Amino acid sequence: MAQRKVELSLGRNPEMGVDGLPTQTPLAPFDILEPEIDTEQMLINIGPQHPATHGVLRLVCELDGETVVTVTPHIGYLHSSFEKLGEYRSWNQIVPLTDRMDYLAPLIYNCAYVMSVEKLMGIEVTERCKVVRVILMELDRIFGHLLWLGTTAIDVGAFTPFLYAFQERERIYTLHEALTGARITTSATRVGGMMADLPDGWIGALTEFLDTFPDTLAEVHHLLTGNQIHIGRTQGIGVIGPEDAINFGLTGPNLRSAGVDYDVRKDQPYYDYETYDFEVPVGRYGDCYDRYLCRMEEMEQSIGILRQAIDRLPGGPINVDDPDISLPSKTDCMSDMESMIHHFKLITEGIPAPEGDCYLPIEGSKGELGMYVVAQEGGTKPIRWRVRPPSFVNLSTIPKLAEGHLVSDLIMINASLDIVLGEIDR
């Protein structure tokens, strides 16, 4: 399918050259330093406990004055060895581990994991389940981008967008809670279907959210997109070119802002994404400002996908009709002996998998989220469960992006990458 791009034609900083870099570089070259000043380089430690690192991330910076010479990220403070834990759990018991990785967009992780397991086992989920999962994933893309928007804005001193973003997130939290009973640790999916079907009135509440959310987005646009302070803090900062961006493994909005139109939903489509009408925003300069624009446009596109998904949401069962995979209903378990035995057997024995491995990438809110599962013949637990963490790979570019920028820009670059430490450390 032909890729369509949204033109991001907004005013650039007049001090900027054609390549997107400022013509008057604020980075002090060594020769203009006054000789009598002591020019000893200094080491500064940021984090692990610091609000601007967006989690327990530690950055050791070598500074020349206020300019970053090198920056070394230290991670692992949240390491919980989820992948090792998964090897001791049956296929469905892993689902709660997945949403604890990216607690900013948990439903995407729930869905990605079971999609990979279903592909490995050759399970074809029902049409209703597919559309429901698309709705949940797009809703959580907005959810994740809103947190990024609020915290990034507050990092450059804009407080109001933070309040707007969190007000909207609160409404998505309510939708999460109505669907799963939990606000953050949703664990909504199961192999072969969902924990439960959508409750009554949920689609109505989602439509209500979709009707009013664009107004908030427009207000944030009004506050930030043309704002001179915001432009000054983001344009020409943390620039990366398209070849470098691919080579460094950037994915998601970070890659697309550098002008590479790679979106897993278009390039390796899953769940009939090729039949939805949406566009992939692609940036030009690969700086913090383009990353901002790409994410803002992605939220608009997600609203469109959500509306289309609601329109085509079919009826029918949400779980596959296979007693070896899906549990009987709770009511049946409590009233019918055969269903009780069926439930007991499925829980105690687990779902057997075929021999093989499966790597399934999907477009998460942070980038390409790949779930890799390896199973042995008849195994009810994975031999290996691996998450290809988009934030982990995105964060590894920070030494390159921040080199030569000011310390205050390092904070902006770190924020613009949209990382979540729960998934980096796993």
49 binding another protein? (CB under 8 A): no
- Please identify, among the stretches 39-47, 188-196, 225-233, 322-330, the one whose residues bind another protein according to the rule CB under 8 A: 39-47
Burial of 65 (0-12, 13-18, 19+ CB in 10 A): middle
Interface mask (CB under 8 A) for another protein, residues 250-269, using x and -?
-x--------x-x----xx-
238 binding another protein? (CB under 8 A): no
Which 54-93 positions form the footprint of another protein (CB under 8 A)?
60, 62, 70, 72, 75-76, 79, 81, 83-85, 88
Q: In the sheet that 67-74 helps form, which strands lie side by side, from edge to edge? A: 42-46, 58-64, 67-74
Question: What is the C-alpha to C-alpha distance for residues 408 and 67, in angstroms, rounded to an integer?
Answer: 9
Q: Which two tokens stand for residue 9?
A: 């034609």
Query: Nearest-5° angle of CA 397, CA 164, CA 48?
Result: 35
Left if phi > 0, otherwise alpha if psi is -120 to 50, otherwise beta: which for 127?
alpha
Task: Specify the residue, 160 or 396, whose C-beta has the smaller distance to another protein.
Answer: 396
Question: What is the C-alpha to C-alpha distance for residues 59 and 399, in angstroms, rounded to an integer?
Answer: 10
Give, for 332, the enclosing helix (H) or strand (E): helix 330-335
- Residue from 63, 357, 381, 407 binding another protein (CB under 8 A): 357
Residue ranges in 53-126 assigned as alpha helix (H):
82-86, 95-99, 106-121
Interface mask (CB under 8 A) for another protein, residues 377-396, using x and -?
x-----xx-x-x---xx-xx
Q: How many residues bind another protein (CB under 8 A)?
A: 54
> What is the closest distance, in whole angstroms, from the C-beta atom of residue 347 to another protein in the complex?
21
176 binding another protein? (CB under 8 A): no
Which 123-162 positions form the footprint of another protein (CB under 8 A)?
none
418 binding another protein? (CB under 8 A): no
372 binding another protein? (CB under 8 A): yes
407 binding another protein? (CB under 8 A): no
Residue 60: beta bridge partners? Answer: 45, 72
Give, for 50, the enclosing helix (H) or strand (E): strand 49-50
> What is the closest distance, in whole angstroms, from the C-beta atom of residue 248 to another protein in the complex?
5
Question: What is the C-alpha to C-alpha distance for residues 317 and 121, in angstroms, rounded to an integer?
Answer: 20
Interface mask (CB under 8 A) for another protein, residues 9-38, using x and -?
-----------------------------x
Q: How remote is the C-alpha of 95 from its chain's centroid?
A: 17
Q: Which two tokens stand for residue 103?
A: 């607690």
- Residue from 128, 176, 343, 426 binding another protein (CB under 8 A): 426
What are the residues binding another protein (CB under 8 A)? Answer: 38, 42-43, 45, 60, 62, 70, 72, 75-76, 79, 81, 83-85, 88, 119-120, 122, 244, 246-249, 251, 260, 262, 267-268, 355-361, 368, 370, 372, 374, 376-377, 383-384, 386, 388, 392-393, 395-397, 400, 425-426
